[in-house]
């Protein structure tokens, strides 16, 4: 009997391509797991009116661990239009299944490592004062609060009367009081002190365990005085328990500038949901783009690991496949770390590092050429060839 049972959720588009490649690598490294398929994604919204069916929730409740590929999400009008005719007009609303999963299982810590691999032609480089070039080592780990902030889903277009009445009690709402309901959209940003404390403490624990020299809070307390203010206040209180690790505070807009000038200055960064989403993609751009961007959604009991790229439907049907599987494979390595099999996670990352450094096998994004059928003729490796190279390096 396998030691672990993993809920495999390929989802949409290229998720169905890259997830099996990650499982090939896990098998090769000796990760003792069985895999059960979980339905998730656009086809289930269209057919059933639910992109995250209850049967998949039940699998995650039972097995606690998941690997997730990618999903397709579309705006409200498009989502409604693609719903099966017999389901229309029944009050169903599309909601991101990964956001639903995070909130349903309390996957409040989103861990996103962004580390450069030497030899990757996509790595950040900068000009030196002497006119030459240098490639700083980027090793940032973003702790994104995953269940609150701007992504709670508490929002309205044409808000109901009681919402408008409540908002009218705030003096800052006065300029909007006369706006017709159909012209008014409101999204809320909600944070709570205990949840902030959990992710900030997790960030400090990670920094201490992995030798990072600081933790940075990236918020906007000079404008978002209540929500970012609470984030900073909690961070300062938690930092008192870690006197060996300095707490830095940088406004989110300022750090977006500084990370493109001196990314090596930053290690562990912690912030709210929307800001964490943005800054982790920005750092990913410095280490190879979304083809190298992995993440873990971690709660008290359940954990789900995924690449941060989308479903890229325009590439999903290409034969042979050309998409880069490394982000998905790195996410599988994070799964190994999570269950205490760090030796296997380290071996996977070392194999990827070797393939990247050798430079003999590169997917189209690593070659900086357009994607499409012509990429193979231009010398790009297929998805399976990249995985094969990683397996050989193991």
Confidence (pLDDT) at 95: 87
- Cα separation, 315 vs 370, in Å, equals 11
Q: What are the strands, taking DSSP E only, across the chain?
A: 4-11, 33-37, 65-70, 109-115, 126-127, 133-134, 139-145, 155-157, 185-187, 215-219, 247-251, 268-271, 294-298, 303-307
pTM (predicted TM-score): 0.94
Contact 237, 220 (CB under 8 A): no
Question: What pLDDT is stored for residue 30 in this prediction?
Answer: 98
Peptide bond between residue 320 and the one before it cis (omega within 30 degrees of 0): yes
Please tell me the CATH code under which domain 1-108+292-394 is placed.
3.40.718.10
Q: Do domains 1-108+292-394 and 124-151+190-286 have the same CATH topology?
A: yes
Query: Which residues share a beta bridge with 113?
Result: 141
- CA pair distance 162, 159, nearest whole angstrom: 8
Identify whether the C-beta of residue 255 lies closer than 8 Å to the C-beta of residue 266.
Answer: yes
CB of 280 closer than 8 Å to CB of 308: yes
Residue closest to 99 by CA, chosen among 49, 55, 148: 148
Where in the chain are the domains? 1-108+292-394, 124-151+190-286, 154-187
DSSP string of 369-394, one letter each residue:
---STHHHHTTPPPHHHHHHHHHHH-
Q: Which CATH superfamily is domain 124-151+190-286 in?
A: Isopropylmalate Dehydrogenase (3.40.718.10)
Contact between residue 245 and residue 209 where contact means Cβ atoms under 8 Å apart: no
**Other beta carbons within 10 Å of 13:** 24
**pLDDT given at position 247:** 98
51 secondary structure, DSSP code: S
pLDDT for residue 222: 96
For residue 106, count CB atoms less than 10 angstroms from its CB and return exposed for 0-12, middle for 13-18, buried for 19 or more: middle
Residue 225 is predicted with a pLDDT of 96
Degrees (nearest 5) of the Cα angle 221, 96, 192? Answer: 30
CB 254 within 8 A of CB 214: no
pLDDT for the residue 253: 96
- pLDDT of res. 1: 85
234-265 burial string, b = 16+ CB within 10 Å, else e?
bbeebbeebeebebbbbbbeebeeebeeebeb
**Per-position pLDDT tens, the chain of length 394:** 899 999 999 999 999 999 999 999 999 999 999 999 999 999 999 999 999 999 999 999 999 999 999 999 888 889 999 999 999 989 898 988 998 999 999 999 999 999 999 999 999 999 999 999 999 999 999 999 999 999 988 999 999 999 999 999 999 999 999 999 999 999 999 999 999 999 999 999 999 999 999 999 999 999 999 999 999 999 999 999 999 999 999 999 999 999 989 999 999 999 999 999 999 999 999 999 999 999 999 999 999 999 999 999 989 999 999 999 999 999 999 999 999 999 999 999 999 999 999 999 999 999 999 998 899 999 999 999 999 999 999 9
Q: What is the pLDDT of residue 366?
A: 97
Q: What is the spatial distance between Cα 311 and Cα 73, in angstroms, rounded to a whole number?
A: 9
Q: For residue 391, what are the contacts with CB-CB under 8 A and spacing of at least 6?
A: 24, 25, 28, 351
């Amino acid at each position: 009997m396998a030691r672990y049972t993993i809920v495999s959720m390929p989802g949409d588009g290229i998720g169905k391509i890259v997830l099996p490649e990650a499982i090939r690598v896990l098998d090769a490294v000796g990760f003792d797991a069985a895999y059960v398929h979980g339905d998730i994604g656009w086809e289930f919204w269209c057919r059933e009116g639910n992109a995250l069916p209850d049967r998949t929730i039940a699998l995650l409740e039972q097995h606690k661990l998941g690997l997730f590929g990618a999903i397709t999400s579309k705006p409200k009008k498009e989502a409604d239009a693609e719903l099966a005719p017999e389901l229309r007009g029944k009050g169903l609303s599309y909601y991101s299944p990964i956001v639903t999963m995070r909130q349903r299982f309390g996957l409040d810590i989103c861990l996103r490592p962004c580390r450069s691999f030497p030899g990757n032609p996509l790595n950040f480089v900068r000009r030196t004062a002497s006119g030459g070039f240098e490639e700083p080592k980027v090793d940032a780990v973003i702790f994104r609060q995953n269940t609150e902030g701007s992504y709670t889903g508490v929002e309205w277009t044409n808000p109901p009367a009681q919402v408008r009445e409540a908002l009218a009690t705030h003096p800052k709402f006065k300029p909007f009081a006369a706006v017709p309901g159909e012209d008014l959209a409101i999204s809320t940003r909600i944070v709570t002190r205990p949840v902030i404390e959990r992710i900030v403490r997790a960030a400090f624990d990670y920094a201490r365990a992995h030798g990072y020299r600081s933790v940075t809070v990236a918020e906007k307390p000079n404008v978002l005085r209540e929500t970012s203010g609470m984030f900073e206040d909690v961070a300062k209180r938690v930092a008192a328990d870690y006197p060996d690790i300095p707490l830095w505070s940088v406004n989110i807009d300022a750090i977006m500038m500084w990370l493109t000038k001196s990314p090596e200055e930053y290690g562990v960064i912690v912030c709210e949901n929307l800001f964490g989403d943005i800054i982790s993609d920005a750092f990913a751009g410095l280490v190879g783009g979304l083809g190298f961007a992995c993440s873990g959604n971690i709660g008290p009991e359940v954990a789900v690991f995924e690449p941060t790229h989308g479903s890229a439907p325009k590439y999903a049907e290409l034969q042979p496949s050309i998409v880069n599987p490394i982000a998905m494979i790195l996410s599988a390595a994070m799964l190994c770390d999570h269950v205490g099999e760090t030796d296997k996670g380290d071996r996977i990352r070392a194999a990827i590092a070797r393939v990247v450094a050798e430079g003999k096998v590169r997917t189209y994004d690593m070659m900086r050429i357009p994607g499409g059928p012509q990429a193979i003729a231009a010398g790009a490796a297929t998805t399976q060839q990249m995985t094969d190279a990683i397996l050989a390096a193991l």
